[in-house]
Amino acid sequence: MDHPLAIQTRGLRKVYGDKVAVEDLTLDVPQGEVFGFLGPNGAGKTTAIKMLLGLVAPTAGQARLLGAPIGDPQTRAAIGFLPEHFRFHEWLTAVEFLDLHAALYGLDPAERRKRIPELLDLVGLSEAAHRRLRGFSKGMLQRIGLAQALLNRPRLVFLDEPTSGLDPLGRRLVRDIIRALRDQGTTVFLNSHLLSEVEITCDRVAFIKAGRVVHLAALDTLVEGLTAVDVRVGGITPDLVAGLARFAKPGSLRADGDRIHLVVDDEEVLPAISQWVLSQGARLYALAPQRPSLEDLFLQVIGSDVRE
Amino acid sequence: MLESDLREDTLAPPPPAASLIGEKHEAAPALIGQGVGGVGPILIITRLTFHEARRRRILVLGFVLGLAFLALFSIGVYFIQRDILRSGGIADERLIREVYGFLSMAGLYVVNFLIIMMAALISVDTLSGEIASGTIQTIVTKPLRRWQVVLGKWLGFLAMLSLYLVLMAGGVILAVRILGGYTTPNIMSGLALMVLEGALVLTLSILGGTRLSTLANGVLVFGLYGLAFVGGWVEQIGAAMHNETVIDIGIVSSLIMPSEALWRLASYQMQSPLTRDLGMSPFAALSLPSPAMVIYALIYTAVMLGLAMLLFQRRDL
């Protein structure tokens, strides 16, 4: 019954008309992992999640969740889902809404009575328990949606942009919940374009671009062997920047006033950078190596032309 | 506080992930069984459908309008009755009966129209609306099958329609009974035919909602209703002119959309024997649809409902 892989996909593909939404999705996500699914808007992230949840039928390929083929209703009892732009029956109160979804999960009334206040408390909505969802702010809706996804104590949770619409406090809450889920062995599939979010919470990330996984790595090994450099220069010229780009990993260079940020292969390049700057007659104020961020990597993998 | 909540209450017991689903299945096998393939999810959706109609005030509006109509109708019957009495009574008892028979048919004709409107309006956006807004996504990813959602909604709307019909038609029938002492014949079979008519319109509207936008679906349902309505009249005129071709055109339209044929059968059941023989009136049938039309309409409704389930099952959401 049990399966070491929470998610397993092979060549999953979705074509709408002549538009390819997901080219080829091949992934293994072991149980208990917090998996980040990263990519620019329109890269096929949501379509991929919808295929995994059986909302959209794949054009080709196969996938299994918790060892069972996708779309298997039994398995759904162990899966939680928070859709992107979460919308629902806004004429329900928070409690009615959770009760409906708990009933659909097959929880009996006694368990629902116990579980619902717990979850309202968890997402900080106890005060709003008997208010209609119509009057909820975007952030509150996101919270109640998250509570809905956890009603059944899922073994696998899909969160599609869970922090959209949340203030910093709400984002912190989502992070804490994801950590708690990981601590008790729940697999989390996190769809996000917020890199800092993923950087903090995920064990492993996949970069998806134009419907294809272009990079897949554990987060702590992801940036190994790379160095980010902050350069501050007086008397900057286009030629100088163009010259610096030769040292940088493709797409990683960003210039902002007198500050230039780039990612290089290793620290041995730093003296050469300083030489180049000085040879151009510019004044070098700072040349600081640092650990590259996920954003550096993202820009490098996805390409600098894509903005958040 | 938050951290301890998470650990100790909300997400506890911290399971070996492997055992969680197993435990669940052992703890509540019946529920899970119900959850997939059983009636559990269907009834939850049915309840939700009722709840939604109530919260969105659709039912309230329908009933308020219906009651306004019943009040007007009763007042009308009351004044007619008073005139009959004041004029010293029309000598012929039979003629008075015919007047009330005609009145009750006029009332039921309006009820028939209200039922069709209600059937289409309450259900026209139930699937297309939830698909467009995305609310359907968290429903169909629960441990249930999509056809259960369709069936649950259908049952909920059918129950509402039946209730509405009983109240409205019952009001008309009671008004002429109490005020005029006239008893409408064959009430049960007549109302059953009207329920079937409402169910048919409802089913088409749900079927359309699986693939069409709300607006397109509304156009489809009312378009078909209009076709059946005109087709019914074409058939009547054809019968009056004894023109077989014209009658056939009417019959074909009834086969495409049997709603009007069902109303003509229902009105035939509930009108007075004399009106029946007289023929031509808005509520009477010169060319009476064959009783086989009832069987046809039942099969038609079942097939459309099955098709709705299938199309909804197969579409991308």
User: What was the pLDDT predicted at A221?
Assistant: 66
Question: Any idea which of A62-66, B33-37, B238-242 has the lowest mean pLDDT?
Answer: B33-37
- pLDDT surpassing 50 at residue B267: yes
User: What was the pLDDT predicted at A230?
Assistant: 85
**Six-digit token string for A57:** 């039928």
Residue type, A44: G
- pLDDT surpassing 90 at residue B54: no
Give the confidence band of A164 by pLDDT, cuts at 50, 70, 90: confident
- Distance (Å, rounded) from C-alpha B286 to C-alpha B242? 11
Q: Which residues contact B240 (CB under 8 A, 6 or more apart)?
A: B280, B286
Give contacts of A172 with chain B, Cβ < 8 Å: none
Question: Any idea which of A95-99, B52-56, B136-140 has the lowest mean pLDDT?
Answer: B52-56
Give the confidence band of A223 by pLDDT, cuts at 50, 70, 90: low
Q: What is the DSSP string of B123-172?
A: HTTTTHHHHHHSHHHHHHTSSS-HHHHHHHHHHHHHHHHHHHHHHHHHHH
Give mean pLDDT, residues A237-241: 84
* CB nearest B5 (choices: A87, A104, A121): A121
Give contacts of B15 with chain A, Cβ < 8 Å: 153, 184-185
Give the confidence band of B6 by pLDDT, cuts at 50, 70, 90: very low
Residue matched to tokens 């600098």: A304
- Pick from A123, A75, A92: which is nearest to B44 by CA? A92
- Distance (Å, rounded) from C-alpha A237 to C-alpha A279? 12
- Three-state SS across chain A? CCCCEEEEEEEEEEEECCEEEEEEEEEEEECCCEEEEECCCCCCHHHHHHHHCCCCCCCEEEEEECCEECCCHHHHCCEEEECCCCCCCCCCEHHHHHHHHHHHCCCCHHHHHHHHHHHHHHCCCHHHCCCEHHHCCHHHHHHHHHHHHHCCCCCEEEEECCCCCCCHHHHHHHHHHHHHHHHCCCEEEEEECCHHHHHHHCCEEEEEECCEEEEEEEHHHHCCCCEEEEEEEECCCHHHHHHHHCCCCCCCCEEECCEEEEEECCHHHHHHHHHHHHHCCCEEEEEEEECCCHHHHHHHHHCCCCCC
Give the confidence band of A171 by pLDDT, cuts at 50, 70, 90: confident
User: What was the pLDDT predicted at B3?
Assistant: 38
Number of A to B CB contacts under 8 A, please give it: 142
Residue contact B37–A54, C-beta within 8 A: no
Q: Which residues contact B112 (CB under 8 A, 6 or more apart)?
A: B194, B197, B263, B266, B267
Q: Which residues contact B124 (CB under 8 A, 6 or more apart)?
A: B205, B208, B209, B214, B217, B218, B221
B163 or A281, greater pLDDT: B163
Main-chain dihedrals φ then ψ at residue A184, nearest 5 degrees: -105, 20
Give contacts of B147 with chain A, Cβ < 8 Å: none
User: What was the pLDDT predicted at B284?
Assistant: 56
Question: Any idea which of A81-90, B22-31, B222-231 has the lowest mean pLDDT?
Answer: B22-31
Reported pTM: 0.81
- Pick from B36, B220, B33: which is nearest to B124 by CA? B220
Q: Which residue of B has its CA nearest to A46?
A: B317
Give the confidence band of A211 by pLDDT, cuts at 50, 70, 90: confident
A173 or B305, greater pLDDT: B305
Q: Virtual CA dihedral for B236, B239, B241, B247, nearest 10 degrees?
A: 90
Chain B interface includes A187 (CB < 8 A): yes
Give contacts of A150 with chain B, Cβ < 8 Å: 10-11
Q: What is the DSSP string of B220-256?
A: HHHHHHHHHHHHHHHHHHHHHHT-HHHHHHHHHHHHH
Chain B interface includes A53 (CB < 8 A): yes
Chain B closest CA to A86's CA: distance in Å?
7
Specify whether the CB–CB gap between B309 and B151 falls below 8 A.
Answer: yes
Looking at domain A5-218, its CATH architecture is 3-Layer(aba) Sandwich (3.40)
Give the confidence band of B280 by pLDDT, cuts at 50, 70, 90: low
How many alpha carbons fall within 13 Å on the CB side of residue A152?
A: 33
Q: Give the rounded percent of residues in chain B with a pLDDT score beyond 70.
A: 82
Determine if residue A235 is left, alpha or beta; phi over 0 gives left, psi from -120 to 50 gives alpha, anything else beta. left
Enumerate the CATH 3.30.70 domain ranges in chain A, comma separated. 227-291
User: Looking at domain A227-291, does it have CATH number 3.30.420?
Assistant: no
Q: Give the rounded percent of residues in chain B with a pLDDT score beyond 90.
A: 41
Q: What is the mean pLDDT of chain B?
A: 81
Chain B interface includes A256 (CB < 8 A): no
Give mean pLDDT, residues A276-285: 86
Give the confidence band of A303 by pLDDT, cuts at 50, 70, 90: low
- pLDDT surpassing 60 at residue A220: yes
Main-chain dihedrals φ then ψ at residue A247, nearest 5 degrees: -80, -25
Enumerate the CATH 3.40.50.300 domain ranges in chain A, comma separated. 5-218
Q: Which residues contact B173 (CB under 8 A, 6 or more apart)?
A: B104, B108, B184, B187
User: What was the pLDDT predicted at B25?
Assistant: 33
